[in-house]
């Protein structure tokens, strides 16, 4: 395999496209040649590698499956550096799972099951990339790619409809949530001590990174009254993943997605099943190590969960890319101010400050040291800075009856109309909008806000058209850096 190199003549021709005509760049400055050349080289390097691996798999079936076979013990032993884990995670994201990998279960029938069957999930596709095609690699899902969770296996209205979010920048999201969780739990623990010391009930506000999650009252005996908590579970764990905020770690998101979409059961799930059998979710196979009874044990090794989480932590972050035209740029600036005036920013917090940039990916089953990386500097670029422009408070809010699900998530007491504030970074590259993709445009999405967002929505609707447009321009700047790739 050879990586294509640019001839000097090619570099010269960058100045002009199609001979003599220079393509005008909208409003701004075109990227410098060096940047283009580097992007080009990276895109072709990846393409050549993927092409080579494609032929390798064609020649000897099973090559691709080997790329997603990662033993946690080998990671613990230091056999994988970050680059290697990134490549394995990337392979996982693109892997087309087949029955020989453990795709499906003993009772799998075709065609694919679009509506999931309760907690067992469905079989709606073969790869992660299959539902994250919008806005670039590791992107969001289109309306057709909506998942139909926790249904009756057939009727679309029995399911919780979920539009796939983009999966870039997620390392920052998990890290922010983890810091918030620690702070909230410290507040709780300090209150328990204070209440015991003082012999009186202690009332403590749950505020972290400027976001209030209500308050708790702690009695002298350590009993906690959670009646006044807001937008968070009683465990005070901020769970930033899932439209309703139900997962706190990428590791578990990967594990769950592979299970419900592909029937791929991680070894960690099986180990849990051995201790606490969960046949309703995992299946009632005769052996604990193969709950779905398809004859495949250890369908996903723990190591690939680690590599997958590291991969997500290393991906680029969304960026704010304003318009090029000077007049549009003025409107963009006004729109940014409007965003706060209208009250969007109350929940869609424009910025959360990340205190520590060190990421630690702990194993579930071994007691080795975690994989460590730096969110700000390691992996793909561009990255968010320590002031993460996430546009979310990572808190749940009531969104009103019109947006409510048909039923609660299985085993969850989160009300049907309550959702986590969707981070708006990357917004422009992730249509359609809202949890089930019902909004074709950003404006449609704003107008359909209800519940706690009703006042802001009304304020937006009450704005003059031009002011609405300014805000729309601002929201369209929440995007991703252009990245060249060869489509596959």
User: Which of positions 106-135 make contact with another protein (CB under 8 A)?
Assistant: 110-115, 124-127, 129-131, 133, 135
CB of 240 to another protein, least distance (A): 24
Calpha distance 86→315 (Å, rounded): 9
Q: Which stretch binds another protein (CB under 8 A): 20-28, 75-83, 192-200, 226-234?
A: 20-28
CB 123 within 8 Å of CB 103: yes
Residues ≥6 apart with Cβ < 8 Å to 54: none
CB of 141 to another protein, least distance (A): 8
Q: Which of residues 323-382 bind another protein (CB under 8 A)?
A: 323-325, 328, 331-332
The two most distant CA atoms of the chain are separated, in Å, by 84
- Tokens 């706690």 -> residue: 452
Enter the tokens of residue 418.
Answer: 């309550």
The answer to whether residue 148 forms part of the interface with another protein (CB under 8 A) is: yes
Calpha distance 276→258 (Å, rounded): 20
Q: Which is nearer to another protein, 285 or 437 (CB)?
A: 437
Among 155, 193, 228, 461, indicate the residue that binds another protein (CB under 8 A).
155
Q: Which stretch binds another protein (CB under 8 A): 91-99, 186-194, 269-277, 355-363?
A: 91-99
CB of 459 to another protein, least distance (A): 18
Buried-exposed string 132-161: b where 16+ CB fall within 10 A, e elsewhere: bbbbbbbbbbbeebbbbbbbebeeeebbbb
Q: Which of residues 272-331 bind another protein (CB under 8 A)?
A: 321, 323-325, 328, 331
Among 20, 21, 144, 377, indicate the residue that binds another protein (CB under 8 A).
144
Q: How big is the site for another protein, counted in residues (CB under 8 A)? A: 100
Q: Which of residues 168-227 bind another protein (CB under 8 A)?
A: none
Angle at 147 between CA 145 and CA 152, to 5 degrees: 140
Q: Which of residues 404-433 bind another protein (CB under 8 A)?
A: 428-429, 431-432
Enter the tokens of residue 259.
Answer: 């299970």
Q: N- to C-terminal Cα distance for the chain?
A: 18
CB of 457 to another protein, least distance (A): 17
The answer to whether residue 472 forms part of the interface with another protein (CB under 8 A) is: yes
Residues ≥6 apart with Cβ < 8 Å to 43: 483, 484, 485, 486
Q: Which of residues 156-175 bind another protein (CB under 8 A)?
A: 156-157
């Amino acid at each position: 395999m050879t990586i294509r190199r640019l001839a000097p003549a090619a570099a010269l021709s960058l100045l002009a496209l199609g001979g003599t005509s220079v393509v005008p760049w909208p409003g701004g400055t075109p990227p410098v040649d060096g940047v283009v050349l580097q992007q080009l080289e990276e895109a072709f390097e990846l393409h050549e590698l993927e092409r080579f691996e494609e032929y390798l798999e064609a020649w000897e079936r099973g090559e691709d499956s080997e790329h997603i076979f990662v033993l946690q013990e080998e990671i613990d032993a230091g056999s994988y550096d970050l680059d290697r884990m990134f490549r394995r995670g990337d392979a996982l994201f693109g892997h087309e799972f087949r029955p020989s990998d453990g795709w499906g279960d003993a009772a799998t029938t075709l065609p694919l099951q679009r509506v999931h069957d309760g907690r067992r999930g469905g079989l709606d596709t073969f790869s992660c990339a299959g539902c994250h095609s919008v806005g670039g690699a590791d992107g969001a899902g289109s309306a057709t790619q909506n998942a139909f969770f926790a249904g009756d296996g057939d009727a679309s209205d029995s399911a919780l409809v979920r539009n796939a979010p983009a999966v870039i920048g997620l390392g920052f999201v998990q890290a922010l949530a983890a810091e918030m969780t620690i702070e909230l739990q410290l507040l709780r623990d300090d209150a328990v001590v204070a209440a015991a010391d003082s012999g009186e009930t202690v009332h403590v506000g749950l505020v972290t990174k400027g976001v209030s999650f209500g308050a708790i009252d702690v009695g002298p005996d350590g009993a906690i009254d959670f009646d006044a908590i807001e937008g968070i579970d009683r465990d005070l764990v901020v769970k930033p993943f899932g439209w309703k905020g139900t997962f706190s770690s990428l590791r578990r998101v990967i594990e769950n997605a592979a299970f419900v979409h592909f029937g791929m059961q991680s070894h960690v799930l099986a180990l849990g099943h051995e201790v606490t059998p969960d046949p309703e979710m995992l299946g009632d196979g005769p052996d604990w190590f193969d709950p779905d009874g398809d004859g495949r044990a250890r369908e996903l090794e723990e190591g690939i969960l680690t590599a997958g989480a590291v991969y997500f932590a290393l991906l680029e972050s969304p960026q704010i890319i304003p318009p090029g035209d000077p007049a549009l740029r003025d409107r963009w600036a006004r729109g940014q101010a409007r965003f706060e005036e209208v009250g969007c920013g109350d929940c869609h917090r424009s910025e959360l400050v990340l205190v520590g940039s060190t990421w630690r990916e702990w194993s579930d089953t071994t007691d080795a040291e975690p994989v460590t990386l730096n969110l700000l500097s390691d992996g793909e670029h561009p990255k968010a800075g320590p002031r993460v422009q996430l546009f979310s408070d990572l808190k749940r809010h009531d969104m009103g009856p019109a947006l409510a699900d048909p039923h609660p998530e299985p085993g969850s007491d989160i009300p049907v109309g309550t959702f986590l504030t969707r981070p708006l970074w990357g917004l422009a590259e992730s249509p359609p909008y809202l949890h089930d993709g019902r909004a074709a445009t950003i404006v449609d999405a704003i107008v359909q806000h209800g519940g706690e967002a009703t006042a802001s929505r009304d304020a937006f609707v009450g704005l003059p058209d031009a002011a609405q447009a300014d805000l729309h321009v601002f929201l369209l700047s929440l995007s991703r850096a252009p990245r060249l790739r060869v489509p596959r």
